[in-house]
C-alpha cells in the first residue's frame, strides 16, 4: 500500500486559503518555527528533533498564504499564457505547503497523538478550501485552458505533455468549469469529506488501541508458540501488568492468537473485538461516517458529470470502467470461491474430529488451517520463523536489489528520526551516486495506524538539470523483539516487507523532471506492479537460500523446508483470494451507486456479500467499519487494484523465470521503462514496452492454484479484460 500527500489531496479534493485572516509573515514565523525555516539537516531530512506539535497549524496556515500569493501571481499575469509561465509555474507553486503537509500527514499516520489529531481536524477544512479556491479559480483555469488548447503547436516532449494533461484534467475534475452554485456545493462536500475521512481513521485507531485480551491463567496460552507468548508478556509488562499476558488487535498479536490458541472461546472473544471495530454503538462508531462518505462521494461525482464515484475514479485508471473491474473480479471469484469451499470442508472434518459439530466460524479458519498445513505438508510456520529474522529479511532484500539493479545500502545515524525505532539508510547506485534516503519503521505502537505502507517525505524531481534525491519511508507493524528473541517474521510478513520495498524502489529510482509525476504518482491499478513483483523474489527457492538463515546458528534454510513451502504454495489460496475479493466487491458496491444509501451499512454489507455468495466462515478482509483503505485512504473504488496489478506482476515475473531471476538486462528494462518513469507515460504502453506483449492472467491463476478450476482470461489490456478463444 502507498500513502502520499498527493493521494490525500486527490481523495479530499483539497483546496484554497483563508489567507486574508493570517497576518503572520514567513520570516517572523520562520525564526521560531522550524517547519518554515530552511532545513539544514543531513540529506535535507525533516528536523524531527526540533519539530513540535504546535508548530504545524501556524506553519500550514502561513504556507497556504504564501502559496496563494504564488497562485495569484500566475492567475493575474499579463503575459501570454505558455507552458513555462503557467503550467510549470503552477507545478512549482506550493512547494513549502507540500513539504510541511507531507511531514504532518506522515506523522499523523505513523506517530500520532491526540494533539496531532485535533490539528488535523482543525486544518483539514482550511486545506480543503485552499485547494478548492485554486482549482475553481476562473482566471487560473482560463490560462491553463489556453495552453491546453494550443498543445499541438507547442511540440512538447512526452513528460511535458503528460504534465499539461494532468494539470488541465485536475481543474476539470475539481469543478473548474461548473456554474457557481455547483461550485459552492462542491466546496461544501469537499470540506465534509476531508473531516469525515479523518474521523473514520481516528476511530479505527482508537478502537484498535482500546481493546486488550488479558490472560492470567497460563493454561489459556495452550498452543501458542513461545515467541508469541513472550511478546504478550512484554506487552503486559509495558502496560504495568507484569506476570500476565496481553494480546491486542494489532495484526502481529491478534493473527497469531487466532492461528495457534487452543482456547476456542478466547479466539472468539478476540475475533469479535477485531471484526466489530467501529461497529460498537459508541463514540467511535463508523457506520454513519460510511453512509456520509459514500453518499457525498456519489453526489460529488454526479455534480462533476459522472454516473457514479466509481466512474469518476476509474476514468483515470487502467481499468477505465466499473464493468471492466467487475469482469476481472468475476473471472477470478468463481474458481477462488470453489476452492475456498473445498478448504472449508477440510476444516469442518477436522472440527468434527474435535467433536465440534457446527459450521466453520471465522475464528476457526486460521487455527484449523494451520493444523491442516502441518498434517498435509509437515509444515509448521513456527518452524519457518527462525529463518526469517527481520534483519535477515532486510539483508535479503538488499541483496536482491544489488543483484538486480546494483543498489547499495548503508545505514546512517545522523539523519533525524521521529521515533527511536526508526532507522535511516543511504541508497546509492552501482557507481556510488546517491539515489535517496530511506526510513524504515517496523514495530506497532499506540500512535501508529495498522497495516503496512510506503510513503515519502520528499519526492524526486529535477531542478536546473540536478536530480533532487527523494526521501522515502516504509512503515510496517511487525512483532517487536523481546529481551531474548529478535523480531521473527512469518513468511507472509517477509513478503509484506518485500512488497513495501518494491514501492520504495518506485520512489527511490524515480528519474523525472516534475515532482507531481515522480515515483508512485501513477494510477492505483498500476502502482502495485512494482511492489507485487518483488514478492516473487521473496518466495523463490534460489533466493530463499540467499537470505533465509537461522537467527541463532546462521544455517541456511534446509532444502526440505523450501520444498515443503513450494508444495504448500497454493495452500489456503481459496481463502486468501476470496477474503480479498470480497473486500474489493464491497468497495465497488459502495461506490458504483447512482442513488444514496439510506439503510444501515450492516445490512448493506450483508446484502453485498450475499450477492456474490460469500460463505459464512469467511468475512471480507476489511469489514466496512474499519476499511481504512477506502474510507480513510486513497483506494476508494480502487481496492481491486491488487488483483489487476497481480495480473501484471505475475506476467512480468515470468520474463525473469524464462531467463534468469537476476537477469540484469531485464532488470534494467524494468527500471528504465517503469520504475524510473513514474507517471510520465500511459501505464499500458509502459508495461508493453517492457514485456513486449499484453499481460496474461495465466500466470496469476497458476500461482494461486486456480488455473485447473477455470478457463483463464488470456489478457488484460488497457481498459478491458478479454478472453482469447
Instruction: Please write the tens of the pLDDT for every residue from 597-655.
Output: 999 999 999 999 999 999 999 999 999 999 999 999 999 999 999 999 999 999 999 99
**Is 60 part of a structural domain of the chain?**
yes
Q: Which three cell numbers stand for residue 9?
A: 489531496
Task: Estimate to the nearest angstrom the gap between the alpha carbon of 196 and the chain centroid.
Answer: 20
**Is 104 part of a structural domain of the chain?**
yes
Domain match, 449 and 523 both: yes
Distance CA(633)–CA(9), nearest Å, equals 10
Once rounded to an integer, what is the mean pLDDT over residues 144-161?
96
So what's the pLDDT on residue 702? 87
Domain match, 9 and 144 both: yes
Domain match, 447 and 532 both: yes
So what's the pLDDT on residue 564? 95
Domain match, 176 and 268 both: no
Q: What distances in angstroms separate CA 151 from CA 156, 301, 524, one per listed residue?
A: 7, 28, 27
Domain match, 528 and 496 both: yes
Domain match, 270 and 133 both: no
Distance CA(629)–CA(639), nearest Å, equals 7
Based on DSSP, count helices (H) and strands (E) in the chain, helices before strands. 30, 11
Domain match, 186 and 219 both: no
- Of 567, 598, 623, the residue that ends a domain is 567
Residue pointed to by grid coordinates 476470496:
578
Residue pointed to by grid coordinates 532488470:
667
Once rounded to an integer, what is the mean pLDDT over residues 508-523?
98
Domain match, 191 and 224 both: no
Query: At residue 717, does pLDDT exceed 60?
Result: no
Query: At residue 24, does pLDDT exceed 70?
Result: no
So what's the pLDDT on residue 599? 92
Please spell the DSSP secondary structure of 391-411, one letter per residue. Answer: HHHHHHHHHHHHHHH--EEEE
Domain match, 74 and 181 both: yes
Q: Residue 383 — very low, low, confident or very high, per pLDDT cuts 50/70/90?
A: very high
**Is 588 part of a structural domain of the chain?**
no
Average pLDDT of the chain to the nearest whole number: 93
pLDDT in tens, 466-505: 999 999 999 999 999 988 999 999 999 999 999 999 999 9
- SS3 annotation, 41-73: CHHHCCCCCCCCHHHHHHHHHHHHHHHHHHHHH
Query: At residue 247, does pLDDT exceed 60?
Result: yes
Query: At residue 12, does pLDDT exceed 90?
Result: no
Domain match, 237 and 117 both: no
**Is 21 part of a structural domain of the chain?**
yes
pLDDT in tens, 615-624: 999 999 999 9
**Is 296 part of a structural domain of the chain?**
no
Sign of CA dihedral 226, 230, 235, 239: positive
Residue 211 in contact with residue 248, Cβ under 8 Å? Answer: yes
Q: Residue 1 — very low, low, confident or very high, per pLDDT cuts 50/70/90?
A: confident
**Is 237 part of a structural domain of the chain?**
yes
- Of 535, 567, 599, the residue that ends a domain is 567
So what's the pLDDT on residue 7? 46
| Structural domain count of the chain | 3
Residue 531: domain span = 386-567
Residue 615 in contact with residue 340, Cβ under 8 Å? Answer: yes
**Is 721 part of a structural domain of the chain?**
no
So what's the pLDDT on residue 189? 97
**Active site residue ranges:** 500
Domain match, 521 and 393 both: yes
So what's the pLDDT on residue 31? 58
Q: The domain that contains 540 carries what CATH number? A: 1.10.1370.40
Query: At residue 711, does pLDDT exceed 80?
Result: no
So what's the pLDDT on residue 223? 97
So what's the pLDDT on residue 724? 29
Query: At residue 18, does pLDDT exceed 80?
Result: no
What ranges in 554-612 are assigned the alpha helix state H? 559-567, 573-591, 601-612
Distance CA(139)–CA(77), nearest Å, equals 10
Once rounded to an integer, what is the mean pLDDT over residues 280-309?
98
- Nearest by Cα to 720 from 697, 690, 700, 691: 697
Domain match, 181 and 249 both: no
354 CB neighbour count, 10 Å cutoff:
12
- Of 567, 584, 606, the residue that ends a domain is 567
**Is 253 part of a structural domain of the chain?**
yes
Q: Which three cell numbers stand for residue 645?
A: 496489478
Tallying the residues shown for the chain, one arrives at 725
Q: Residue 707 — very low, low, confident or very high, per pLDDT cuts 50/70/90?
A: confident
Distance CA(522)–CA(603), nearest Å, equals 35
Residue 297 in contact with residue 636, Cβ under 8 Å? Answer: yes
Amino acid at each position: 500500500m502507498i500513502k502520499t500527500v498527493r493521494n490525500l489531496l486527490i481523495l479530499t479534493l483539497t483546496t484554497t486559503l483563508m489567507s486574508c485572516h493570517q497576518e503572520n509573515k514567513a520570516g517572523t514565523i520562520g525564526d521560531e518555527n522550524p517547519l518554515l525555516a530552511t532545513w539544514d539537516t543531513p540529506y535535507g531530512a525533516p528536523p524531527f528533533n526540533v519539530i513540535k506539535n504546535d508548530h504545524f497549524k501556524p506553519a500550514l496556515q502561513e504556507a497556504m498564504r504564501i502559496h496563494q500569493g504564488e497562485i495569484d501571481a500566475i492567475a493575474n499575469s499579463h503575459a501570454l499564457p505558455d507552458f513555462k509561465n503557467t503550467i510549470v509555474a503552477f507545478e512549482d507553486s506550493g512547494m513549502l505547503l507540500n513539504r510541511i503537509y507531507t511531514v504532518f500527514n506522515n506523522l499523523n499516520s505513523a506517530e500520532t497523538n491526540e494533539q496531532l489529531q485535533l490539528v488535523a481536524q482543525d486544518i483539514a477544512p482550511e486545506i480543503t478550501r485552499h485547494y478548492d479556491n485554486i482549482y475553481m479559480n476562473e482566471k487560473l483555469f482560463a490560462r491553463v485552458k489556453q495552453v491546453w488548447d494550443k498543445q499541438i503547436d507547442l511540440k512538447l516532449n512526452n513528460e511535458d505533455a503528460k504534465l499539461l494533461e494532468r494539470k488541465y484534467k485536475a481543474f476539470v475534475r475539481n469543478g473548474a468549469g461548473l456554474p457557481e452554485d455547483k461550485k459552492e456545493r462542491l466546496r461544501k462536500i469537499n470540506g465534509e469529506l476531508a473531516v469525515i475521512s479523518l474521523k473514520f481513521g481516528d476511530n479505527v485507531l482508537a478502537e484498535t488501541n482500546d481493546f486488550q485480551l488479558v490472560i492470567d491463567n497460563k493454561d489459556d496460552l495452550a498452543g501458542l508458540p513461545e515467541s508469541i507468548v513472550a511478546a504478550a508478556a512484554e506487552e503486559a509488562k509495558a502496560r504495568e501488568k507484569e506476570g500476565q499476558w496481553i494480546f491486542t488487535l494489532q495484526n502481529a498479536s491478534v493473527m497469531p492468537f487466532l492461528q495457534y490458541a487452543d482456547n476456542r472461546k478466547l479466539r472468539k472473544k478476540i475475533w469479535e473485538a477485531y471484526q466489530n471495530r467501529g461497529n460498537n454503538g459508541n463514540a467511535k462508531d463508523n457506520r454513519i461516517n460510511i453512509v456520509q462518505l459514500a453518499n457525498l462521494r456519489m453526489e460529488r461525482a454526479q455534480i462533476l458529470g459522472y454516473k457514479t464515484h466509481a466512474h469518476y475514479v476509474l476514468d483515470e485508471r487502467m481499468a477505465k470502467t466499473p464493468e471492466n473491474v467487475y469482469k476481472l473480479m468475476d473471472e477470478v471469484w468463481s474458481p477462488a470461491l470453489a476452492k475456498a469451499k473445498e478448504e472449508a470442508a477440510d476444516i469442518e472434518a477436522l472440527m468434527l474430529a474435535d467433536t465440534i459439530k457446527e459450521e466453520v466460524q471465522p475464528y476457526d479458519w486460521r487455527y484449523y488451517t494451520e493444523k491442516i498445513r502441518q498434517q498435509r505438508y509437515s509444515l509448521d510456520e513456527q518452524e519457518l520463523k527462525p529463518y526469517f529474522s527481520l534483519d535477515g529479511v532486510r539483508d535479503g532484500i538488499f541483496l536482491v536489489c544489488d543483484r538486480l539493479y546494483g543498489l547499495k545500502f548503508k545505514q546512517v545515524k545522523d539523519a533525524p528520526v521521529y521515533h527511536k525505532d526508526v532507522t535511516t539508510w543511504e541508497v546509492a547506485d552501482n557507481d556510488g551516486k546517491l539515489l535517496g534516503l530511506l526510513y524504515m519503521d517496523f514495530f506497532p505502537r499506540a500512535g501508529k495506524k495498522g497495516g503496512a505502507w510506503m510513503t515519502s517525505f520528499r519526492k524526486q524531481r529535477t531542478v536546473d538539470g540536478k536530480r533532487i534525491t527523494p526521501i522515502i519511508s516504509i512503515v510496517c507493524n511487525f512483532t517487536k523483539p523481546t529481551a531474548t528473541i529478535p523480531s521473527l517474521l512469518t513468511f507472509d510478513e517477509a513478503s509484506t516487507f518485500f512488497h513495501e520495498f518494491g514501492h520504495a524502489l518506485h520512489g527511490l529510482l524515480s528519474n523525472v523532471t516534475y515532482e507531481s509525476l515522480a515515483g508512485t504518482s501513477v494510477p492505483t491499478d498500476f502502482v502495485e506492479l512494482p511492489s507485487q513483483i518483488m514478492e516473487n523474489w521473496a518466495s523463490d527457492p534460489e533466493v530463499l537460500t540467499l537470505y533465509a538463515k537461522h537467527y541463532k546458528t546462521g544455517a541456511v534454510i534446509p532444502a526440505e523446508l523450501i520444498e515443503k513451502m513450494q508444495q504448500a504454495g497454493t495452500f489456503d489460496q481459496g481463502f486468501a483470494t476470496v477474503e480479498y475479493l470480497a473486500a474489493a466487491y464491497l468497495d465497488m458496491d459502495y461506490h458504483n451507486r447512482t442513488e444514496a444509501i439510506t439503510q444501515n451499512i450492516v445490512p448493506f454489507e450483508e446484502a453485498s456479500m450475499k450477492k456474490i455468495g460469500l460463505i459464512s466462515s469467511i468475512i471480507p478482509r476489511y469489514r466496512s467499519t474499519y476499511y481504512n483503505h477506502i474510507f480513510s485512504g486513497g483506494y476508494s473504488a480502487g481496492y481491486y487494484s491488487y488483483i489487476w496489478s497481480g495480473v501484471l506482476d505475475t506476467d512480468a515475473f515470468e520474463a525473469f523465470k524464462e531467463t534468469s531471476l537476476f537477469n540484469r538486462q531485464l532488470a534494467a528494462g524494468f527500471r528504465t521503462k517503469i520504475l524510473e518513469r513514474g507517471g510520465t507515460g500511459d501505464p499500458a504502453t509502459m508495461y508493453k514496452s517492457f514485456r513486449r506483449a499484453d499481460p496474461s492472467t495465466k500466470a496469476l491463476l497458476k500461482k494461486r492454484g486456480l488455473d485447473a478450476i477455470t478457463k483463464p482470461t488470456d489478457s488484460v489490456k488497457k481498459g478491458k479484460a478479454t478472453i482469447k478463444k
